[in-house]
Each structure stands twice: as C-alpha cells, then as structure tokens.
Amino acid sequence: ASPPPTPVNASTALPPGIADIKSQSTADFLTSMSRMPLFGSSLSELDPDQLSAFTALAYEGTPSEIASNFKQQGNGAYKLKSHRDAAAFYTKALTVPDLPPDDPIREVCLANRAAANLELKNYGSVLRDCGEALKLNSSNVKAHYRAACALVALQRWEEAVILTQKGLTLDPTNPPLKSLLTKAEAGLAKAEEKLLAEQHLQQQKLQEATALRLALRNLGIKTRRSDTTNRPDLEGHEIKLVDETHLVFPVIVLYPLTAQSDFISTWREDETAEERMGMQVLAEPPPWDEKGEYNWKSVEVFMETLTGGLIKVGKKVPLGEVLGGGKVEVVDDLVKLMVVPRGRREAWIEEWKKR
C-alpha cells in the first residue's frame, strides 16, 4: 500500500513571493497590482523608474497599436472611475506621433475623452471633443449624446434639443437620448416661459415709467438723479403713480437743529403738511424734544430751492402744489423737508446762507 501523504503547510510550501500575495487582502492586492506597469490604471501610481520603463514599453509598435494601448488604458481607468487619468490616457492616444488623421481610433478616443470630461464637468472640453468626433463621423450617436448632456448642464436648452433630435434620427429608439430630449424640451419650455415673463415685466415697467414721467410733467414737478445715489436705508422707495390717478412720494423730514429725522414712505400729492405731520408725525412732542420746541403750531417747514436757497412750505398747501411751483426739485426720488422751531428760524436761516 502507498504511504499516506505527508501533511503540507500551504504557506511554507508556496514560493515566498506567491505566499506574500496569498496573505494579502483583495484591496491590498489590487492596490499593489495598480503600481505594476502592465496592470496599472493610474499614471500617478508609478514611481519614476517604473514610469520610464512603462513609457518605453507603451511606445513599442505601430502608431495605431500604440494608440490602441493607450485607449485600453483609458477604458480601464474609466471603469475604475479614475476619470482624470482616463482623459489623460485618451489624450496620449490622440497625440501618438505619426497616427494617421483618418485612423478610426481618433473618433473613438475623442468620444471617450468627452465621456471622461463629462464626469469631470469640463463641459467646454466635452463640446470640443464631440465636435471633432462628429467631423470625423457625423453618425456617432455617443458624440451626439455626450455633447447634448454638456449643453443641458450649461442650460443651453435649444441647442441640446436640436442635438438630441439629430441623435434620434440616427438611433430612434435610443433610451438615453429619448430621456435627454424630454429633459431638454422641459428646460427649454421653462426658459421660454421665464423669458416671456421677464419681457412682460420689462414692458410693464417701461409703461409705468412713461406714465410717471407724464404725470410729473403735467404737475410741473422737476426731478433729477444725483451723480452718486446711495440711500441704503431707503431702498425700494421711489416716486410712484398709484392707480394711474395720483402720485405718491417718499419724504424725509429733517430737524437740522437736532440732527433728528423722520421718514414717511408714501406721501400723496394731494396731502398737506398739516395732514401728514401735524396730525401724525408731530401730533405729539417727539421723545427727543426735551425743551418742547417741536409743537406743530410752533414750527415752520422749509425746502431747499433750485438755487440753493430756502422756501417756506405752507402747512395747508398740498405737496403736489409745493413741488410743482417751479422753485424746487426732487432729487433721487426723495422729497426733503426741514422743520425748525419758529423762535430759532432767523438764526438758522442766517447759518444756511453762510453755507
């Protein structure tokens, strides 16, 4: 009878190199393989000596064979989602010296590099490569699809629709193209709707501005814009024509002797200082008026004139009449009124003249 087999320890029976590999995890094994020139999918994983050897090896053969090798490397990197490396390999394939201009691999590598750049969101590169691929073969469905994907990402909806439609004439049942066309058409419809809404709004604003200018002209009210308009606290407040019947003005009431102010956002043209200030703003002494000087009956209201002087505003005169009297103007859509106590009026006017 044959003697029983002698037990063998597997780890000691294998050659050292193979035993080391056997003891590695799958992840460690793949990582070590990626550093080997024949199996590597990432140029960045190679050390200088390996890279030099790999370069010499990679450029052996005919230009078409060399380009094909780089293309395969790119495909491998793409499958591993190493899109930047994939694009680099496709670029090497496309730049192989003496590769014939009409070599079919050019079209393939251009379309493939577009796929890699699409993942990297390099949409300009995608469009350029797809354009070159389509020059070589206008029936390349993948180039149509990838270029259309880039156009959708850039929200160039109309071009995306045209390109997907061209792709579907080549492959009418292509599911990705059909899905992309639906997305592009929806984006185009939404963009057109938004454009129409913006145009309508612009037209409405133009009509309102025209009506406002006409209303101001009819009342003889002068307005102008200063060289530098900076009213951060008053943004959104401007002269308006309400219901096409009456003007409203934002008004700032200044108390120059106290450095205080009040803001009235809407003062109708037919309202008087008595109505807006005497019955509202100064109906009671303001909290900062410690001396009780700003009783409505004991104050006077002024505006600066076109020539830099002062004009007294009648308390019972509608604002529209004051502004339309030809002596004042509204600067930057803001009416400025100045209120001073009657007893200090003369001294304040003298100071004003010295300015």
What is the per-residue pLDDT for 8?
46
What is the per-residue pLDDT for 222?
94
Model confidence over 193-209: pLDDT tens digits? 999 999 999 999 999 89
Mean pLDDT, residues 213-231? 84
First-to-last alpha carbon distance for the chain, in angstroms, is 130
For the chain, the structural domain boundaries read 28-189, 236-353
What is the per-residue pLDDT for 10?
44
* Domain spanning 236-353, CATH architecture: Roll (3.10)
pLDDT above 60 (res 152): yes
Mean pLDDT across the chain, nearest whole number?
A: 86
What is the per-residue pLDDT for 28?
62
Model confidence over 182-194: pLDDT tens digits? 999 999 999 999 9
What's the predicted TM-score (pTM) here? 0.60
What is the per-residue pLDDT for 225?
86
Q: Phi-psi bin for 218: left (phi > 0), alpha (psi -120 to 50), beta?
A: alpha
DSSP state at residue 46: S
What is the per-residue pLDDT for 171?
97
Confidence of residue 354 (pLDDT cuts 50, 70, 90): confident
Domain 28-189 matching CATH 1.25.40.10: the answer reads yes
Q: Do residues 116 and 78 make contact, with C-beta atoms less than 8 angstroms apart?
A: yes
pLDDT above 60 (res 34): no
Three-state DSSP class for residue 205:
helix
For residues 223, 228, 234, 239, the Cα torsion angle rounded to the nearest 10 degrees is 20
Mean pLDDT, residues 131-158? 97
- Reported as type and span, the H/E element at residue 265 is strand 260-268
pLDDT above 90 (res 355): no
